[in-house]
């Protein structure tokens, strides 16, 4: 390919073949006469210097600050398996992470306790402090969804309950932001979680950290197996258990 230069200009390369700024043809021929360069090509006029030119290093852009630098985040945890990737990812982003347990939707009580105990066993292995909401508020959950038990409809109410309590706790304990492990599940309504999270965050003057944790779904499965964590087969409420059983029955 022919490089077209302005009239009276010469292309210049150094001894290493690196392109330099063009110069006038008159100066180029003077350098040739002085033995400082040779003709590499007549058309277009190109000269090669007999020495290498030390190029100044290109300035490197400053690395962008990580979103979690000097910030504390309260991570709502629905279960230990979902916390595996989410906690690791938040720490990669430089957040100071604390877990938070509040899941009044989980039914029955034995299931609630099994999930809570699994998290209690797992959290110390990754040095994750956890704030534990006391009690078991299944009655409040059932009252909240009464007459609105349909899939997705009840889920939005459930998100509201859990994220509002998380935000309240985060504000009370001086956190900068909060988020939830629900964002890793492909079975949850991620858009609804984000809208709900941002709404309650604004109410308490906090940030809701949103990220598509589903990118870590495969990693979460590997870590769950490695840690031999109890992994449930339904989201949590009695309705999701029925739906999961029905799906399983119809696929046999």
DSSP structure string for 92-154: HTT-EEEEEE--TT--SHHHHHHHHHHHHHHGGGGT--EEEPPS--HHHHHHHHTT--STTHH
| pTM (whole model) above 0.85 | no
Asked whether the bond before 108 is cis by omega within 30 degrees of 0, the reply is yes
pLDDT number for residue 247: 67
Distances in Å between the Cα of 131 and the Cα atoms of 150, 174, 249 are: 31, 13, 38
Q: For the chain, first and last CA: distance in Å?
A: 65
Domain boundaries, the chain: 9-49, 72-249
- Is there a contact between 178 and 76 (Cβ–Cβ < 8 Å)? yes
Q: Over the stretch 224-248, which tens digit does the pLDDT of each residue have?
A: 999 999 999 899 999 999 888 876 5
Q: Over the stretch 29-59, which tens digit does the pLDDT of each residue have?
A: 888 888 888 888 888 888 888 888 887 888 8
Mean per-residue pLDDT, 190-196: 98
The CATH code that applies to domain 72-249 is 3.40.50.620
Q: Residue 120: is its pLDDT beyond 80?
A: yes
Q: Over the stretch 122-162, which tens digit does the pLDDT of each residue have?
A: 999 999 999 999 999 999 999 999 999 999 999 999 999 99
| pLDDT, averaged across the chain | 92
Q: Are strands 130-132 and 96-101 parallel, antiparallel or unpaired?
A: parallel
């Amino acid at each position: 390919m022919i490089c077209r230069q302005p009239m009276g200009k010469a292309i210049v390369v150094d001894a290493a073949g690196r392109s330099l700024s063009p110069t006038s043809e008159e100066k180029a021929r003077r350098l040739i006469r002085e033995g400082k360069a040779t003709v590499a090509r007549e058309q277009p006029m190109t000269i090669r210097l007999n020495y290498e030119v030390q190029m100044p290093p290109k300035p490197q852009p400053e690395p962008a600050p990580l979103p979690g630098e000097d910030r504390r985040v309260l991570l709502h945890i629905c279960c230990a398996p979902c916390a595996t990737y989410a906690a690791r990812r938040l720490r990669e982003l430089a957040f100071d992470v604390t877990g938070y347990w509040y899941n009044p939707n989980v039914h029955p009580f034995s299931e609630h306790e099994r999930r809570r105990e699994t998290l209690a066993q797992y959290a110390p292995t990754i040095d994750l402090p956890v704030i534990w909401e006391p009690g078991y508020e299944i009655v409040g959950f059932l009252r909240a969804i009464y007459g609105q038990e349909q899939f997705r409809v009840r889920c939005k109410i459930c998100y509201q309950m859990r994220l509002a309590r998380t935000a309240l706790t985060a504000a009370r304990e001086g956190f900068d932001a909060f988020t939830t492990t629900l964002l890793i599940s492909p079975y949850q309504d991620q858009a609804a979680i984000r809208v709900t999270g941002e709404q309650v965050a604004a109410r308490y003057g906090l940030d809701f950290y949103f990220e598509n944790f589903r990118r870590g779904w495969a990693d979460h499965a590997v870590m769950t197996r490695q840690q031999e964590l109890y992994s449930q087969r339904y989201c949590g409420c009695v309705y999701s258990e029925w739906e999961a059983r029905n799906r399983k029955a119809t696929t046999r």
